[in-house]
Structure 1
């Protein structure tokens, strides 16, 4: 085993370490986005339930109430923004 073999191994280990770091970072981004999507899903389900209740209440002559505020709008805006502009890959994966 020559010196050049050892250098190649060391260089490849360094490349793999950098790749592992990038993948760990991307995994964190994916997990964060999945969490946001879960929140958005719950918000949309709640809004749909509220809309159904409001429709039923309107049929019964009851004035609807609104309990969801700017938080729901902010979450939905972030999800819409990500759909238009998903995170970019900084380096090509082998």
Structure 2
């Protein structure tokens, strides 16, 4: 039942999209992909084919130093620090104080 409902919903959506006032919606509704010349050729997923621009290449060196800095900070951290009532972390109490 759900499948039939979705099928009719999609059919009516695409039939109405041809008469949509936005030309981009009309183009998307009438789009048919061109068949590939080599149908058995697998394309890698999540790959951008555009060459790197100047902004991207300039930021790569900054990202590299940023990741090294964050890794160095992560190495220093030795687990959770529990706050006490004084707010100074898990430091030992002074010897003269008795609670």
Instruction: Report the structure number with the largest CA radius of gyration.
Output: 2
TM-score, normalised to structure 2, is: 0.27
Of structures 1 and 2, the one with the larger relative CO (CA 8 A, separation 6+) is 1
